[in-house]
């Protein structure tokens, strides 16, 4: 990881757009680095919690324009970490695409140092166990993924964002967010095939990747990185291991069941080689065992 000292960040303006699971964690970390933090969220409860920690909070919808006049016009670091917040495909269109369009409209009148956007590895359509890096094509028939690709393209074609980095996040897990573990403890059958591989990234490793991008040397700019751990794993291996740790019966898989929220992602192995090579990032939780052992201690 490159320079990440208090002196490097202290006193500089930091803007977080979207304070969900990752955005809230990064906003709080920014305070410890001496940054002057402004955070945008449309969730009043999150706004209250962030405000209590000393963050300047703006309650607004990213896709609107009301927030443009409420943020500094010179910001050294901007993070767009918005999520769909539910609402299906319309939620994706509103939060990601319309949200980024609003960011670009604001950026035309602002001065930005480094801009980081957290997208998703779901932009990759590859299946059948293939290995995927950042050079892989993102032509997809998935409507949600198409919107994410469109949003990335807005960043890539912009001339007003300063230098930019797109971080494609794999399946996020961490404290308070462990969907597979919750299903297992509830004794429910698991959707799909146990042979399907999961690409995962722990919350803390994602935050570390974001800070690596912000602290990268000036000559490193306008890059896309996959953020994923070192060991994509068949879902059956993960849940069987968890069952053993918890003393629960081994779960069963139902290949005929339909997912409740979104389609099961394709089976592929997403690589993090570029992130390690160019940003010096190393995951603190290189595989699911390291991450879940840490989580199980807190349950």
For the full predicted model, state whether its pTM sits above 0.85: yes
Helix (H, G, I), strand (E, B) or coil at 227: strand
Per-residue model confidence (pLDDT) at position 289: 96
- The whole-angstrom separation of Cα 277 and Cα 132 is 16
User: What does the block give as tokens for 152?
Assistant: 């990335």
Per-residue model confidence (pLDDT) at position 183: 85
Tens digits of residue pLDDT in 212-234: 999 999 999 999 999 999 999 99
Give the largest CA-CA distance in the chain. Answer: 58
Work out whether the CA dihedral 207, 175, 96, 167 comes out positive or negative. Answer: positive
Burial pattern 146-156, b for ≥16 Cβ within 10 A else e, equals bbbbebbebbe
Per-residue model confidence (pLDDT) at position 4: 54
**Domain boundaries, given as residue ranges, for the chain:** 6-175+201-231+269-285
- The whole-angstrom separation of Cα 120 and Cα 230 is 17
Q: How many CB atoms lie within 10 A of CB 71?
A: 19
Please identify, in words, the CATH class of the domain defined by 6-175+201-231+269-285: alpha beta
Give 223's strand partners: 165
- The whole-angstrom separation of Cα 195 and Cα 236 is 6
Is the Cβ–Cβ distance between 59 and 34 less than 8 Å?
Answer: no
**CB within 8 A of 18, min separation 6: which ones?**
40, 41, 62, 80, 81, 82, 83, 95, 99
User: What does the block give as tokens for 97?
Assistant: 């695409």
Is the Cβ–Cβ distance between 267 and 196 less than 8 Å?
Answer: yes
User: Rounded to an integer, what is the distance from CA 44 to the centroid of its chain?
Assistant: 22
User: What does the block give as tokens for 90?
Assistant: 């319309």
Q: How many CB atoms lie within 10 A of CB 98?
A: 17
Helix (H, G, I), strand (E, B) or coil at 86: coil
* Stretches in the chain below the pLDDT threshold 50: none
Q: Which of 299, 180, 174 is nearest to 238 (CA)?
A: 180
């Amino acid at each position: 990881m490159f320079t990440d000292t208090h002196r490097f960040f202290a006193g500089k303006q930091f803007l977080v757009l979207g304070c969900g699971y990752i955005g809230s964690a990064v906003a709080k970390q920014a305070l410890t680095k001496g940054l002057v933090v402004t955070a945008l969220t449309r969730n009043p409860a999150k706004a209250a919690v962030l405000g209590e920690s000393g963050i300047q909070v703006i309650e607004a919808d990213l896709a609107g324009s009301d927030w443009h006049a409420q943020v500094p016009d010179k910001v050294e670091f901007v993070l767009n970490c918005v999520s769909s917040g539910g609402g299906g495909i319309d939620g994706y269109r509103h939060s990601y695409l319309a949200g980024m369009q609003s960011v670009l409209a604001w950026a035309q009148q602002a001065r930005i140092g480094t801009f980081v956007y957290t997208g998703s590895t779901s932009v990759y359509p590859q299946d059948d166990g293939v290995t995927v890096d950042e050079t892989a094509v993102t032509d997809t028939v998935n409507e949600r993924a198409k919107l994410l690709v469109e949003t990335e393209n807005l960043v890539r074609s912009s001339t007003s964002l300063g230098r930019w980095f797109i971080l494609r996040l794999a399946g996020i897990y961490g404290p308070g967010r462990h969907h597979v573990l919750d299903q297992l403890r509830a004794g429910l059958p698991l959707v799909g095939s146990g042979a399907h591989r999961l690409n995962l990234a722990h919350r803390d490793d994602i935050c570390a990747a974001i800070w690596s991008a912000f602290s990268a040397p000036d000559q490193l700019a306008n890059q896309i990185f996959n953020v994923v751990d070192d060991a994509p794993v068949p879902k059956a291996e993960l849940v069987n291991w968890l069952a053993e740790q918890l003393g629960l019966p081994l779960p069963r898989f139902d290949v005929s069941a339909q997912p409740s929220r979104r389609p099961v992602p394709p089976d592929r192995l997403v690589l993090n080689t570029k992130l390690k090579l160019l940003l010096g990032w190393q995951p603190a939780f290189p595989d699911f065992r390291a991450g879940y052992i840490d989580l199980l201690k807190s349950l």
